Each structure stands twice: as C-alpha cells, then as structure tokens.
Structure 1
C-alpha cells in the first residue's frame, strides 16, 4: 500500500512523464516537428485520431516552446538540453498512459474541461495541459473528497480546495482534462486523506490551516 501511496502523491505534485535528465544533446537550430510527431505516433504516445500534425505543431510553437524557454531561464534543467529531448521527456505534451491499477474515466478523448457527467470520487487524479509551470508541461490535482479537488494553482501560490464545478469552470476551454480513478478504493481514500492533512488541513476539515508553497 505504501508503494501505491507514494506513486499517487508523486502524481499529484509532478506532471506525469516529467523526469529531467542531466545529460542531453545540444539544442538544434531548427525543430523538425514532423519527425518528432511521427516518432510520438510510432511510440504510441500521440494519437493521430485525436491530434493532427498541424494541431500538434501549433501547440509546440504557441505553448510548449515558451514553457521550455522559461525552464531554461529559471534553471529547471541544464541548458544543454535540446527542445527535442525536452518534449520527449514531457510525453510529447500528451496525457499519461496508466497501468492496470488505474482506469481512465470514460469520455470522448480530449474533451475540453468537461467530465461528461462523471461524479468525481475521493482519490481521483485530474491532469490537464490547460496550464503549465516553468519548464514543466501540464498540471495535476487530487480529489481530497467527493466533489472536492485539491491542487496548487501555480508557482509561488499555496494549495487551494475547489468544488468540482468551480474548478471545471476555471479550466473549461483550456485544452484537455483527464480524470484517472484508482481501482483500489482503500488506497485512493488513504492517498486523498494524506494529501488533505499534509497540504490543506491537519484536522481534515474544510478550514485550511496549512499553506505550503
């Protein structure tokens, strides 16, 4: 159980697929988006049915490259890391692939800020690419109670508890949102309680008395 708790909490505050490597190739002058896209498709990460080459290229130019540059500026990773290496480490900007212990909440792929009527359950993990931090693509949160979601909105901010409706309104239209449900409800509850009592309220109440940054 401890192993699963560590995995869940890691997912909460790190964006899935991001592992900064100390060794990487030198940055190239021009990015070959088509070659990168085809590689992502061949690896089964980019789904052609959901994301076209044109759309993916635009996302790189308009969103991902700025996040990469911000990471370089803030020293998140070594300056020798090329954009090509960085986007691969960041899962090509795509949702994570989960293992047998998890299930993705059924919904039309790439739905923008909509849960399709699904009731969020305690311990569920939510991942979106609607917002990013310096050098890191995407954003993760955990349901610390039924219909309540806990996350850290951004760099330099503290944790915040939202109702499901309010958080979805905040992220509506900001690219895709994915919900992942842990099949073991006992572990899911333990993870949610741990996150709540360590990052929001030591008493497990709706009144916040922990303000981490």
Structure 2
C-alpha cells in the first residue's frame, strides 16, 4: 500500500470515528407520553449514551401526573413543559408525543363530583374522567371553571356563540337537613366557552 493510500485509509477511519462520535453525542430526544386519567407512562429514546434518560423520565413522570389534572393545562402547555425538562438534560431537538385512550393529542383528567345536582346519572363523590376539549354540544355533560363554585359538573342546555348555558339534571330536590325539610334547586347559569374544561367521558372510576 502506497503512502497516499495509507493516508486515505487513516483519513477514512478518522471520519468514521468522528461520525460515530457525533451520532452517539446527538442532542435529539423523542419522548412518548401515555395518560388515561389515572395512570401515566413515560418513555424516551435518544442515541446519546451519556445523558441520564432514567432521571429525565422520572422528572417528566412526576410533572405530568400532577399537571394532567390541572384544569388550566392542555396538550400545548404540557408539551412545552416536557420540552423544557428535556432541554435541562442537554437535549436541544425534542419531539414529544402525547396519547391517551381517546387518541393522540387528546388529554384526559380525573375529577371528583361534589353535590347531588347531577343525580341520577352522577353521584356525590363519584370520580369521573374528563376529556379536555372545548368542542362541545348540547346534551354533553361538561366540567366548567366557575368563580363561585370552583368547578361545576353540568349538562349543556344551550349554546349561543361563545356562551354556554349549564343546567343540572337534578332540577329540584327536597330532603331533610338537620331536621328541617329543605328544597334544593340545581344550578342553572350561563358561562363563557373559555371556562369549559372538557366533557365527562368515563363515570364511576375506581382507583386501586
């Protein structure tokens, strides 16, 4: 082998090792999230052998199991926050995929019912899974943010533009309270579409 061929061979070997080094030190990461309202699964994939994906996955898991049940979170905010977590572990190009039992980019949350206004369909203390969406129709049972009550779980009675009329299934109920016969009237009120958290999809959720 001539000196020229030797130099070419050495140069080729150096390029190969440089390529392998760049490959192994890649700052790309793919994060897959699966949530169903009660459980969370986090998986991540990257070629970089020096980054601590186990610690990153655990941090993402701790974040998402809380944030998914925040009434103000959505797919975009969760994806942005997960991307920031991945950035803190040295990844620059981050792809985040979010899936649930309702499909890709469909975010569920769990909440508990307070009160008897949705009897007989939903009972006081019952846990339900809500699909976060503002794409609602008359007749849907929805969760809505409310300044007076915190969270309302009501049926959509009417929609006018961006205004939604919420009604109770249990319109009026008379029962004994502290020895006094008392009549309770279910909430009926208008709210803005922006206050809608989502649609109730799964009822009587049991937590093991």
Decide which structure has the larger Cα Rg and report it.
Answer: 2
More helix by share: 1
TM-score (norm 2): 0.26
More strand by share: 2
Q: Which of structures 1 and 2 has the larger relative contact order (alpha carbons within 8 angstroms, sep 6+)? A: 1
